[in-house]
Chains A and B, each alone.
Chain A
Amino acid sequence: MNRQVYIYAIIGVLTMTVTGCYKSLLPKEKEHFSNNANFDGDTYTANFGRTNVFYGKFNPDYSTQPLTFELQNIAGPDGQPVPALREEVNTWQWKQYYSGTEKSVDEINAKRTQVKRPLLDIRANSGDLVFWATDTSRIKPGVYTFDIFVKNNGGQKTFQKRKLQLRRPRPYEPYEFDDITGLRKPLDKGGLTHPTLIGVKDQLNNNIPAENVDVFFVKTGTAKNTVSIKFFDKDSLPIRLSSFNITQWDSLVYRSNTIEQIVPFGFNRKMTQDSTVVTWDVPSPFPVLADVGINEKASIGFIYERVSYGTRTQAAVGLQFAIFEPGSWDVIIRFRVNPKFTND
């Protein structure tokens, strides 16, 4: 009798064990690492003197998130390790978002804070690469290589020999010099910058082509971040800004392409007594999202009106630009043919 009881007990226990271990027969859910996870291109072109960001280059192809990204084997053009690229530098990062409604440069700057980050930086989970703003004193331009090691619990992959092309700084845009050779670009490829002209006539009432007006960016100091705009005629005599008679100086705005909003063109506008120079306080870079935004440039238009043979016509000189190097910059617009501001 006792033996039978044991047998039942054993059968009972066996059953429980068998049914209890269903789970152990089954594969556990593993993280998925897709074989097709890949970067879009293997070359990153960066300029000194500005923050270079490379977004959305990585396609995880449905790999299980989060993935972790790590930079490895950073080597210089000569193949030697370059620890300097991993050294931490001071970077400006945003605490609050740039709304475009800020009233002063200080208000914008208050939204940013200085953070130490490695010079060549990668976002840990998205694979977005950043080459922070630095000067050429630590690193020389050239082609550097590095590997990106991507990993989750389901798999890992090293993307080897990514190329980081470091080029000379371009302190402003449009920049007339080639950022590899440092030489002036050919004239037909942007060796000289021209503004946009709409309806600007010369003394004979002919349209002045844009090629006859040049734009020069000149850095005049480092005390403050400002932008000054000056116009000169063909004799290098200043043109009074009052000539642009219907320019609404108090409400000059441009559209920020990144936040898709109208934002003021600089702050704290000052005009000289003789009305030849106009100066704004600006953040650096200018526009403030110029380096991290999407095709972000400031634009300004100088508009005037005149009566030509009984017809009132409007004309404008427009310019789109960005300034990356901090300091006081003069933007000089020089006419090679004198424009006509007076009525006929």
Chain B
Amino acid sequence: MNKRYLTLLVSFFLLLTGASYTVYAQQAVTIKGRVTDAASKDGIPGVTIIDIKNNKGLGVTDPTGQFIIKVEPDKTIQFRYIGYRFETLKIGKATVLNVTLTPENKSLKEAVVVGYQKRTKETVSGSVAVISGKDLQDVPVSNIQELLQGKVAGLNIQNNSGAPGFRGTMSVRGVSQLNVSGSGDQAYLASNNPLLVIDNVPVDFDGGISQSMLQPGAATGPLALIPPEDVQSIEVMKDAQATALYGSRGANGVIVVTTKRGNSPTPIIDVNSSIFVNFPPKLRPTIGGNAERRYRINSIFMNARDEQDVRDILAKPETQFLTDSLNSFYNNSTDWQGLFYQTTMNTNNNVQISGGNIKMNYKANFAYQMNQGVLKNTGFNKYSLNMQLNMQPSKKLRIGAQLFSALGQKQRGNGGGLTDNGAGNSFTTSLLPGPSKFVGNPQLDGYENNIDDNNTVNFRGFVDVDYEIINNLRINSTTSYDYYTDTRDQFKMSFSNNNATRLYGFVGRHDELNTRNGVNYSYSSNKKDLEKGNNIYASVFSEINIKSDDQHVRDVRNGPNDYYWGPRGYSPRFYPGNVWNNANEVNVNGTPVSYVYHAASWAGFLSYNFRTKYSVDLAYRLDGSSAAGINNPYTKNPSVGFRWNFNKENLMRRLSWLDYGSIRTTYGVNSRPTATILNSLGVYKSVPGYNNANSIIPEFDVLANPSMEPEKSSQFNFGVDLGLFKSRLEIIYDTYYKNNYNLVRDAYLPNATGYNKMQVNGGAIVNYGHELSITGRPIVHLNPKGFQWTVSVNGAYNKGILTELPGGSQFYLSIDDRNRQSIALKVGRNPQSNYLFQTDGVYRNTSDVPVDPIRGVRYKANAGPGSQFFQAGDPIWRDLNGDYALSDADYVIMGNPEPSVTGGFNNTFSYQNVSLSVFCTYLLNRSILNNAIAARVYRLQAPYVTDYTGNNLDGPINLYDISKLDYWKRPGDVASRPAIVGSFYHDALVQPNRLNQSLVMEDGSYFKINQITLAYQFRDFDFMKRLKLRVLRAYFTAYNVAIFSNYSGPNPETVTSLGRDDINGYPAASSFTFGIGAQF
């Protein structure tokens, strides 16, 4: 399969390189001149003069603005200087050129694509942040999403898994969902994914992960498949106005990715190649060998009930060897943890061929990345080819076409990928010998030999035709088709899977056809200068979207041997429920997902501005979908926005320090359909034997709710853009108030109805906050080769408040049976809170434990009978109701898994040919449940457990270095943690190190250095001319450099979206990259 695909890619590639241009050289002439500022008539030093055709520098102006260049007379040259409009000239016969440059506000003239419409930023009222593709280079990551972290205020990205090919969580302006999936350490919040639009094609963010977040299907999302080198820009739309035209899928924000276009008369070949090394993070400190044996035996002696108990414990088969210290077989110090990790060497390669002019341009981008994970047998390889062709045969007709194809290959080792990786467990004691020819460990063996290959093949093409029927009126049609095939082939050897092989096959195909047809009209009363006329832009379009998804699973267990991987088709021997193969009914054969979805939308948009000074945007979109509730088939998305570019007021024009300034205000409503066929129409099933006949009856779990309404979010946004001191300081400020209402919740019904529950609209969350981005250029040297320093800081403060629950309820508790770390939803608080016992320290002495004055006994850990009395070394849990018993009434709502402030901090320095960039991110104020340390303490409490028995005893077998913990040791100790073991008997009753206490909750604020890149630009070397190299650049990047935090766990970022640190999560790897970029 792979080979065939590669051949296909290469042949495409060759096809495109076939075209080439020939360039004839002419006699060069010397040209002199001066470049001056249009207003002040002063000479501008350091203006770069560029040969446009070859995109090659010809020279720079001297301190008085004078220049002398040598150039062929037919060339077109361009004068570029920061903060000024580019001036393009054809040389002709002149030998003296005097050029005037007019200052411009470049950041406002940028074209942005909002609502599928390309517009200049200065007329856009919505909140749109633009990330240049340049900021996403120099580090080969497996998913481009990682690189967006900290780049946009209000876009919160947490790379909570280091697994290659997976991605972390992303949310725009806080959480807008209340549902939680999974439990325990693997509890995740329902996704808050924004809509992803790639080159004007809306695509599924996760590439169709319909299986749960925990065990993502084979699918690799589109953001992982796009090579960063191919990205021209990424726009993040945050408010309702910007997202309104994207319809119901844009309620969580929209991310628009635009890939590069060809734009050079001579073909350009860009080659970017790098090698990078992934390093496993620092492993968790453990004790091994004799220290482990001594700890285990000492602890058993100290904490067993009596001597007989010690004898009984040490007589068990799994502990007996502890006493056999002279037996060399049991006298090892194996670093099991280290055996799971590896350092890998990888490569990233990208070739881009582009060329053409405005009439016709083309681009082909071929990328290959090999990215082996730091956990054995995990990794991600990807191949992609993106081809684009744009034509403008006449002024009236524009045609664009693109074909993107990619193959992503993921290996998931022995784990789930995101979670459940197992390496944290380190399944056996260090006293046992390491793996060798005769001795193995099932779990490690699983990592080394099991197969879990996940392939995603993605094709996405679009054709975009635009024709001007009459002046100013254009019709436009865009049709795209996006197709994925995901497969997962997993085979577990019997040794690693409880002596029964497991073959798991997954095939998923999903596709999306999207066609958008519309008319747009633009009018300006003064064509020459928009700043002097009335300008109108209007458009209407319709969009049809057809999606289908089919997934099939084949799960075969207990095959004949490790070499027979089958049967893959249907076999009566392996049907679900066959006791010989599926005694426990664990097989998941079948078709978990199969649907076709239709949506039709209509949208209208009107934008008017007066002299580009005052703009009004009005947009409306209507979405209908086949899954909507029958009483509410359409969702409506109206929005309105105003913008005032106040620097264009006469008063402000006089202020020389003000480059630009504008105020934006928008309001709009986005809807997100949540009705599915299941909850709006109900489920019916056929049952045999009702009245002695086959009948169709309703499924009594969920009652149909035909009046289901879409979830809505109304958002108010107010923003200010300021450019000051000749672009030395740019400030973007936004504040928003976003009300997500009609959120769907389960309403449990009285059992008299016969049904269990009904899904109703009823939850509401408000997110409000402030976002600030400041870009400063503290040191701008007039000579571009001089020392330059650009610093940009952005930060977003977001506060989420739960404002409503269905039925006027104030409180909802989603109980976690696994860890007892339940999640409380309480109106007036942050949407999710932890529900834990408050730990106020540790009892120094038993006499410090409060005594029930009526009963004469100590405060105890259980309200019922029993002697769960607290003693010295136990945590002081707050007794809220004063009944001297710890009970459900004593739980406290606390913490917030959502950070209150997130942001980034970037610095770029350049001097001569060297540049240095440092990208950092930070996060403030987030509660993390450090279950990883709790799991390790859990095992310290059970020194007699030396083998991994599955889920009933969580935690790694290898022992945490106990000296790192500040725990209570003897009466009178002041410690931050309770005693590791009070006694085995006492701990079983009281569980002092339990998870549902505030002791495990920590602040997860961090400051992270994401990336440091040192680059050297080769200029004017002879060998470059000989090799016809236009640009040559070498760079060195350190990625995931360091994270600074008070958090006691390894990494406050690799936690779930609900802030639970899972010991089996995939750690974030650091990498070092050396790369070369060349342009021919």
Which residues of A pack against B, CB within 8 Å? 1, 4-5, 8, 11, 15, 18-19, 22, 25-30, 32, 34, 51, 53, 55-56, 60, 62, 65-67, 93-98, 111-112, 115, 123-128, 130, 154, 258-261, 288-289, 292-295
Contacts and interface: CB of A to CB of B under 8 A. Distances in A.
Residue picked from B852, B881, B885, most chain A C-beta under 10 Å: B881
Contacts of A261: 867
Contacts of A51: 854
Interface in B840-885: 847, 849, 851-858, 863-867, 869, 880-883, 885
Residue picked from B847, B856, B858, B863, most chain A C-beta under 10 Å: B856
Contacts of B883: 55-56, 123, 125-126, 128
Given A26-B766, A98-B856, A288-B856, A4 B651 contact: yes
Contacts of B908: none
B1066 to A, nearest CB: 36
Q: How large is the interface on B (under 10, 10 to 19, 20 to 34, 35 or more residues)?
A: 35 or more
Contacts of A125: 880-883
Nearest to B878: A65
B854 A11 contact: no
Nearest to B801: A26
A52 to B, nearest CB: 10
B718 A27 contact: no
B510 interface: no
Nearest to A295: B865
A95 B801 CA distance: 45
Contact of A29 (B827, B857, B858): B827
Nearest to B804: A27
A267 to B, nearest CB: 17
Given A25-B737, A259-B869, A289-B856, A60 B881 contact: yes
Nearest to A257: B865
A17 B417 CA distance: 48
29 contacts: A25-B737, A25-B766, A26-B828, A27-B803, A27-B828, A28-B828, A30-B827, A51-B854, A56-B887, A60-B888, A62-B811, A65-B881, A65-B889, A66-B881, A66-B882, A93-B854, A94-B852, A94-B853, A98-B856, A98-B857, A125-B883, A126-B881, A126-B883, A126-B889, A128-B854, A261-B867, A289-B855, A292-B856, A293-B855
Given A26-B803, A27-B827, A94-B854, 18 more contacts: A26-B801, A27-B804, A34-B811, A53-B854, A53-B855, A55-B883, A65-B881, A67-B881, A94-B851, A94-B852, A94-B856, A97-B851, A97-B852, A97-B869, A111-B856, A126-B889, A259-B857, A288-B856
Contacts of A111: 856
B770 interface: yes
Contacts of A11: 663
Contacts of B801: 26-27
Contacts of A258: 855, 857, 867
B512 to A, nearest CB: 38
A289 B646 CA distance: 82
A175 B970 CA distance: 47
A126 B856 contact: no
List the 7 closest pairs (A to B, CB-CB), nearest first: A29-B828, A126-B883, A260-B867, A94-B856, A65-B880, A93-B853, A126-B881
A145 to B, nearest CB: 23
A38 B88 CA distance: 82
B585 interface: no
B586 interface: no
Contact of B889 (A60, A259, A260): A60
Q: Is the interface of A mostly helix, strand, loop or mixed?
A: loop
A230 to B, nearest CB: 30
Contacts of B804: 27
Contacts of B829: 29
Contacts of A29: 826-829
Interface of B: 646, 649, 651, 663, 718, 735, 737, 766, 768, 770, 801, 803-804, 810-811, 813, 826-829, 847, 849, 851-858, 863-867, 869, 880-883, 885, 887-891
Contacts of B888: 60, 62
B853 A56 contact: no
B880 A96 contact: no
A342 B1051 CA distance: 78
A167 to B, nearest CB: 20
A4 B718 CA distance: 21
A62 B737 CA distance: 31
Contact of A62 (B768, B813, B863, B867): B813
A175 to B, nearest CB: 22
B663 A292 contact: no
Contacts of B737: 22, 25
A58 B766 CA distance: 35
B880 A66 contact: yes
A95 B853 contact: yes
A154 B853 CA distance: 30
A19 B718 contact: yes
A94 B663 contact: no
Contacts of A260: 866-867
Contacts of A15: 718
B856 A97 contact: yes
Contacts of A4: 649, 651
Contacts of B663: 11
A260 B868 CA distance: 10
Nearest to A67: B881
Contact of A32 (B651, B810, B867, B891): B810
Contacts of A98: 856-857
Contacts of B867: 258-261
Residue picked from A62, A115, A261, most chain B C-beta under 10 Å: A62
B803 A56 contact: no
A96 B847 contact: yes
B770 to A, nearest CB: 7
B471 to A, nearest CB: 38
A115 B853 contact: yes
B340 to A, nearest CB: 42
Nearest to B768: A22
A28 B982 CA distance: 43
Nearest to A65: B880
Nearest to A261: B867
Contacts of B865: 294-295
A55 B887 CA distance: 12
B854 A96 contact: no
B885 A56 contact: yes
Nearest to B890: A65
Nearest to B851: A97
A202 B810 CA distance: 71
Contacts of A128: 854, 883
A129 B1040 CA distance: 60
B856 A56 contact: no
B882 A126 contact: yes
B134 to A, nearest CB: 33
B458 to A, nearest CB: 42
Residue picked from B766, B801, B852, B854, most chain A C-beta under 10 Å: B854
A125 B804 CA distance: 28
Contacts of B881: 60, 65-67, 125-127
Given A19-B735, A22-B768, A97 B858 contact: yes
Contacts of A32: 810-811, 826
A292 B854 contact: yes
Nearest to B739: A25
A221 to B, nearest CB: 26
Contacts of B813: 62
Contacts of B887: 56
A94 B810 contact: no
A26 B770 CA distance: 16
B1023 to A, nearest CB: 58
A62 B810 CA distance: 11
A150 to B, nearest CB: 11
Contacts of B855: 53, 94, 258, 289, 292-293
A2 B828 CA distance: 44
A288 B857 CA distance: 11
